[in-house]
Amino acid sequence: MPDMPDQPAAPEPLLVDDDLVLHGLHDAAVDDGVMAFEAIWQHERVGRVELLRGDVGDAELIWLFVPQYRAVGVVERALRLVVRWAFDELGLRRVEARVEDDDRDGVRAAMRAGLRKEGVSRAVAVPGGRGDVMVLSALDDDAPPHTREGFIAQLNAALPTKRAIAQGVIRDAEGRVLLCELVYKQEWDLPGGVVDPFESPAQCVVREVREELGVDVEVRSLLAVNWLPPWRGWSDATVFVFDLGVADEDLVARTTLQPREIRAVHWVGEEELEARVAPYNQRLLAFLLGHQGPTAYLEDGLPAL
């Protein structure tokens, strides 16, 4: 049998974005799931990007660039090229990056390349000890970061979030306020709870009262918006306090309490509030009992404007 001609070597991937060129390197073991690229910008070697493939259509993205080039946009351009190549040429489903949380340049570069923040892994082993690590990822069907849809998705993943709480003031004919005796804390509190994603505060307070007390209420008006600073380990929150009207005399008797959260409900007069509620709620209720005006804006239960 005649000798077969040598097969030509597979071409090295070459990724180009104007004056930025990424050369695929075969000194990395592709069979072992590693693909490496050398970044050349304006004819200078400025860094290296590696893609560590898993066995289920995922890969981890890592990179190292000369520090002086981080501010000129080269890093995110290089990462964007490699991520797109991973999806289009390798058929991957997900590309993930793990960046030390205090590496603001690294996090920013990953986001500008189209990766979205997912969360923070705490106390991960990093060079020099342990630290928090930001996890970011891109999926093959994510909207590109330069589109409106992609930009909004980036903001939704990256912007700060704040707890929203909705509570209601229910009074009886004597002006007393309905308070819940809770299973998980000593202080009594107004009925209500944390607003779910895509749920309005008004919908939330109606749902929470139905779930926890077994009664239906109607929102009459918004009495106050109260910002709460961090307290006893809880982060800060915004509380929407609604007027739920004057209840019938038999309300307490009609309640069906959710036992894992509510031990009992009580009508509480102004003279009892100090002994029963947390200080911020004492200030809030003391203000509301004497407030006849429009919706108030409060901070820690006190007028802020």
3-state secondary structure of 254: helix
Average pLDDT rounded to a whole number, residues 104-120:
94
Instruction: Residue 201: name the closest of 150, 236, 247, 237 by CA.
Output: 237
The pLDDT of residue 222 is 97
107 vs 136: CA distance, rounded Å? 8
What b/e string do you get for 269-295 counting C-beta neighbours within 10 Å, with b at 16 or more?
eeeebeebbbebbbbbbebbeeeeeee
> Residue written as tokens 């949380």?
101
Average pLDDT, the chain: 90
The pLDDT of residue 62 is 96
Confidence check: pLDDT of 7 > 60: no
Whether residues 36 and 68 share a domain: the answer is: yes
> Residue written as tokens 């004819």?
43
CATH of the domain at 94: 3.40.630.30
Q: Which residues contact 213 (CB under 8 A, 6 or more apart)?
A: 180, 191, 255, 256, 257, 258, 262, 265
Final residue of a structural domain among 158, 174, 192: 158
pLDDT digits (tens, 9 = 90+) for 8-63: 444 567 899 999 999 998 654 445 678 999 999 998 999 999 999 987 889 999 99
Whether residues 179 and 149 share a domain: the answer is: no
Whether residues 19 and 153 share a domain: the answer is: yes
* Residue 112: band (very low, low, confident or very high) from pLDDT cuts 50, 70, 90: very high
The pLDDT of residue 4 is 41
CATH of the domain at 270: 3.90.79.10
DSSP string computed for 182-209: ESS-SSBB-SEEEPPTT--HHHHHHHHH
> What domain range includes position 218?
163-303
| pTM over 0.85, yes/no | no
